[in-house]
Every structure is written in structure tokens, then in C-alpha cells.
Amino acid sequence: MSWPKVYAGASVLLACSAGSSETSEPRNKRRRTVLVIGSGRLAAIRSFAFLEAGYSVLLACDAAQSLDAELSHRIACNEVAALSLNAHDDFDGWLDGNLSQSQYQDLAMVIVTDTLYARASSMRSLDSARSMREACYERRIPVNIADQPSLSDFAFPASHRWGDDSPLQMALTTNQHACKLASRLKRMLVTALPRDAGQAVVRIGKLRQQVRSCEVKHAVLDQYEEVEEGFSSQPLNMPVRQMAVSSPRPSRCTSPNRTGKACVLTPQLDTQFIGLNTETRMRFISQISEYWPIERLAQLDAEETTRLLGLHSGNHPESSSAISTSSARDHSHVDTPSSTLRHHDSAVASLVASPLRSKGLILLVGSGTGSPSLLTVAAHRALTQMATVVLSDKIVPEAVLALVPKSTKLIIARKFPGNAESAQEELMRLALEYAGQGHTVVRLKQGSPYLYGRGGEEVLHFRKHGYECLVVPGVSSSLDGPTMAGIPVTQRGVADTLTICTGVGRRGKGVVLPGYERTRTLSILMGVARLVSVVETLTQLASDPAAPPAALEPTGESLLYEGKRTRSGTPYPPYLPIAIIERASSSDQRVIASTLDRIVAALQRHGEPQRPPGMMVIGWAVLSLDGEGDISMLDDMEALQEDESLDRLQRDAAIEAADRARIDRWLAGETAIVREGLPARWSDVFEASL
């Protein structure tokens, strides 16, 4: 296994905080101290930053020099303590003689600011800065000396904080290459983010705090709570058991009881999977953090979060997950995490601006791969002109939801691992209720409704209740996801067949994957979270000695696991190309391409955190158009097959050698090829089409 090459010159970006926050316990009663040296504007900026981070600030400067007005104010308010230090003092001796024992023990950092933009009479010399560096180094105290990166242990990035007391901050660094440009880039990033981003972080923090405060078994909480930003210990859509669904049918035992009769099992409410434990609640918070619009997250309040997570005194969430719900409640608050976005009217009465029919309409609309520009004209019209109520899947991108007019009610499915069945039933119930009130209801689905969109069961359900719904096709990611990644699913000389399948079956169960054919491209939807098992199923031999001997049974070239077939046909070569495409056609699209035997490590290295929705493309088409291209796979195979001097084993060995050489040329010594974002020219196309 190869690993990415290390390129020096980067920085480790850390978020330092000495105090406590609303979402953390105080680390200790004593606050860490920072020594800021200087009297000018930069010293004031640094002091303010450390005060907000919870540090005690000691300011050391020449008493004869005038202080920045802000520093004078903070000293007068006892926010900053001042000490006397001039540019010619011996800093080594000054540290020992001017700091109290507690100040010295609590000293965390030294910040020198009077080496930059100071008056000539007070500006610290380079020799003085070096001596300060040596004194700090001997004491193992990190030091930053302004405008002297070679003498500094760390640097200050260009940063921004959302609001006076917001926990959301952003930092950007050019690693001392272009400091002014860093400030400009920071402004561009800040303006590009949603205006409510800071408030959304506050709301999610309070949501997590509510879960923590109501749990007694902290050991369970610690197991499932994610505390590291930028790292996830589990895939966002990791397979879990499904929660109980409403009105479950009695199930029959597979084996008879002692009387010889089939026993009937009484449906039981599985409280472990209906949102009553920490795991489910924290996973739900992770899901809405990823899928809900930022504007919607910013509106969460205590009452709504209590209802959504089932944190009220009865400890039963007001949800369709819990067998039954009250039909008398206002539907803007029924078992949906959505209610309405702020720019969507929350009252049903606001929907009567256009006359309602005595019997409404239901449309199943495909939202395409992700970009609003790839919506069909019919889908765009249904969303923007026809709908009075939109019931959306959770993975429909925010950019598509933004097209929904302000006067239209918007409800987002509360689908998260373990709750998919309950959320599906809830949306179908809401669709019928709103249609019964005369509304035009759009069931908005990612991709195309009939391609793993559960559109068929909704059509039958609505037909059973007297509604013949209209199905509006959408662009499917199985076809256009690869296109956006530069991968043709069929290509002359490479692949003449496309097979589309899913990585997960009904209620989270496994599926039977097709066997390997050289001329076939395999497109797998909804399987990235199960990548390890998918790769094992595809590549494992029917009599693999590494597999449990009792579990695997050779049946020709198919694979059986624990008596169930998991692959139908020949195993896939481990060196076969595979591409994982995440959030296709969105601005944060990512493509990770490698081989079957390397893709798991590549995803762990480059793909954290994951960006659902994701899909996989497997086959020689993955590399066919990369670089100069390679569309000779079938020609090479045919030429070797026509060579009568070779027997079958020799031909197979020659084909494998040629294929491995292709892989080596394609990857060029790397483990994987990673592409972030869309090609630059695509932004012009998308913007022009809106």
C-alpha cells in the first residue's frame, strides 16, 4: 500500500482556548496567561483575541511610550494587566524578575508585536528579538515575533468571528507567502457563506447541549458524540437497524412452536431505536447538520428541538416513529424537522393566495443530481409555479430548495439512519392530508423518482387513496454523476454495457451485486458508507481461504455468505478502477478515483469527512478519458484472444499484465486521484442557466 507523499511547508491549524464555553466544562479554575509585548495597535488586536479565547493577558511595554487607546481602556477596566519592559531590557532576566510564580507557571505563550510598524525609537532590534526567542525556547514557551517567521513557533492566520459572541470562527493562512492576499481571500469566503451560518452553529450547539443534559449514562454519550471537527469516526450514513414504523403488521415465526402451529409475534415498540437514546439523537444532529439548509438550522428553538428529539417529560418523541401521532396537530409542526424555512410562510392560511381545488394534486418530482441548473424545465415549473406545498427528501441540495417561493410551505423529511421507513410513511401521510385540503403537493426527490427513489411505492400508495400522481423525471446521478466527473459510462473500445444497482437493499439489508464483465460499467448508488463490504463482495473468490470457512460456499463463480448469495458471477480483479463521486454537480463535488484494492485506504485518507450523497463507478471506463485517454482495452483483449500461440492461461496473464500497466500509467505512482470542485468553466454554464 502506498501513502501520500509529504510536502513540507504547510501548517498545523489549531484552535486554542483557555476558558470554558457553553458547550464545554471548564478545564480548570486557573486561566492560562499570555504575555503580549508592545504598545501599539497590533498589541491591542492580539490582546483582544486572547481575551475572547479566555486567556489572562499580561501587557509588557515601555512605560515612556504612549499606549494604544484600546489598550489604555482595557488596562483601566482591569481586563489587561500592564508591566514595564523597554526594548533594551534583558528579557531573560526580566522574565525571572517581573513575573510572579503563578504568572510564570501559567504562561502559555509570548507574543512580540513591537518588531512591526513601531516608531524607530521604540522598535525592537533583531538582536533583541533573537534573545527573546532563545529565552522562550529554553523555557519551552511558544513564541510569535511579528514579521519574523523564522523566529516564531507559530503564526496568526487571517480570522473572522460571526458576531460578538458567536462560537463560529474561520481561519485562513498563506503560510507567510501572501499576508495581504490572505485578508482578501478571507473576506471572499466570509461573504460566500450564508448570513445565518453563525446562528446555525449556536443552535446546533444548544441542541447537543440539550441531549447531554438529559442523559445520565455519559459512557454511552462519549461513545457516539463526535468532538473533533474535520474528523468523523463513523460514516455519516453508516448502516443501522431501522426504527419501528407505524402500524406494523404482526410477523410470523419462521419455525413452529411446540404445538406445531406458527406463532404470531405481537408488535413491540423498540425504544432503543425511536430516538430515546443518545446514539440516535446524536446521529440525528449529525444528519441535520449535513443536510438541512443553514437558514433552517438557524431557526431552531428550544421548543422545537425538544419535540424533535423527544426530550420532553414523557420521553417519547412526537413522531411517527413512535407508532402513532395526533392528527389534530398543526401540520407545520407534525413530526418533521422542518416546519418551514423563515422565508416560507408557516401558516396554512397563507397558502390560499391562489385558489385551492376541492381535491388537490400530487406530483413526484426529480430534483436531479444537485445543481439547480440541471433541473428539467418541468421540474423547475412544478417547484416555482405550481406547488403550494413541497415535501422534500433530506438530501435535496439547499440550492434547489432555495428556488421554492416564499409563499410555499416547505417540509423536509426527517430521514436519518434508522428512521428512513418512519419518515417515508410520514411524508406520504402529509401528502395525502395536504392534497385533501386542495393543495398542489410536490414530493421532491433527489435524482429521478423511479431510480431508487421509492417513487413506485408512493404512486401505488397515492392511487390506493384516490390520487393519480404525476411523475416528473429527473436527471439521475447514476448517469450524470460520472459525466460531471469526466467519466463516460459507455465508451467504444472500453464499455458497451451499463449496470445500475444499489449498495443497500430494503430496510438496510444487503443486495446481490453482479459479477465482473470486462465490457461492463457498474454504477452503485447509496453504497459509499458500506464501501468495505462492497469491495469485499466484489473481489472475494468463492473459495477465498481468508473468509470464514463455514460462511462461504463455492457455487460456480458466485459468492454465498452465511447461506445468502451476495455476488452473482465472476469476482472482480483487485486492480480494477473505481471512482467515488460525492455531491455531483454541486460546487463542493469531490471525486476520489483508485483501484478496488486501494480505494478503502484512499477514502480514509482523502475522504474524511464524507460528503453524501455519494456513488461509485466501477470499470475500465473510469480511466478511459483521463489525460490522453485510453480506449484500447477491448482491442488489446481481442488481439490476444486471436493469438493462437497462447493458451487460455497465457492469454489471461497477458491481459492482466497489460491492465496493470494501464493502472500504473493512470495513477503515476499515487494511491488515488482526487479532484475537488467543478471545472472552472462549469460555473459560467450554471450561472448563465439560472
**DSSP string spanning 220-256?**
HHHHH---STT--SS-TT---PPPP-SSPPPEE-SS-
Mean pLDDT of 32-50: 94
Q: Can you tell me the mean pLDDT for 440-445?
A: 96
Per-residue pLDDT, 487: 97
Q: Chain centroid to CA 292: how far?
A: 11
Top-ranked range on mean pLDDT: pick from 18-27, 554-563, 639-648? 639-648
415 catalytically annotated: yes
pLDDT value at position 303? 78
Q: Residues 167-207: pLDDT tens digits?
A: 999 999 999 899 889 988 998 999 888 888 999 999 999 88
Task: Name the grid cell of 213.
Answer: 443534559
Bigger pLDDT: 260 vs 72? 72
The runs of H, that is alpha helices, within 526-679 are 531-539, 599-606, 621-624, 633-642, 648-667
pLDDT band at residue 560 using 50, 70 and 90 as cut-offs:
low
Residue 341 scores a pLDDT above 70:
no
pLDDT tens across 408-422, in order?
999 988 766 666 778
Residues 635-643, mean pLDDT to the nearest whole number:
82
- Average pLDDT (43-67) is 92
Query: Which of 470, 453, 22, 459 lies closest to 207, judged by CA?
Result: 22
564 noted as active-site residue? no
On average, the pLDDT of the chain sits at 80
Note the pLDDT tens digit of each residue in 218-233: 444 444 455 556 555 5
Residue 277 to residue 271: CA distance in whole angstroms: 8
DSSP assignment of 600-632: HHHHHHH--S--SSEEEEESTHHHHTSTT----
pLDDT band at 376 (very low <50, low <70, confident <90, very high): very high
Q: How far are the Cα atoms of 236, 279, 294 from residue 399, in angstroms, in the given order?
A: 21, 30, 11
Asked if pLDDT for residue 28 goes beyond 70, the answer is no
| CA–CA separation, 520 and 540 (whole Å) | 19
Query: Strands (DSSP E) along 228-381, which ranges?
Result: 251-252, 264-265, 361-366
Contacts of 657 (CB under 8 A, 6+ apart): none
Please report the domains of the chain, with CATH numbers, ordered by start residue. Answer: 33-154 (3.40.50.720), 371-475 (3.40.1010.10), 478-541+566-685 (3.30.950.10)
Please state the rounded mean pLDDT for residues 376-380. Answer: 95
Confidence of residue 118 (pLDDT cuts 50, 70, 90): low
Average pLDDT over residues 614-620: 96
Please say if the pLDDT value at position 270 is more than 90. Answer: no
Q: Where does the pLDDT of residue 366 fall: very low under 50, low under 70, confident under 90, or very high at 90 and above? A: very high
Is the pLDDT at 403 greater than 80, yes or no? yes
**The predicted structure's pLDDT at residue 428:** 94
The C-alpha atoms of residue 351 and residue 346 are separated, in whole angstroms, by 9
276 has pLDDT over 80 = no
Among 78-92, 323-337, 369-383, name the one with the lowest average pLDDT: 323-337
Q: Is the per-residue pLDDT at 248 higher than 60? A: no
pTM value is: 0.65
State the pLDDT at residue 478. Answer: 93
* Polymer length in residues for the chain: 690
Q: Which of 106, 196, 393, 480 is catalytic?
A: 393
Which helix (H) or strand (E) element contains residue 112? strand 107-112
Which is catalytic among the residues 196, 415, 445, 659?
415
Higher pLDDT, 165 or 466: 466
3-state class (DSSP) for residue 88: coil
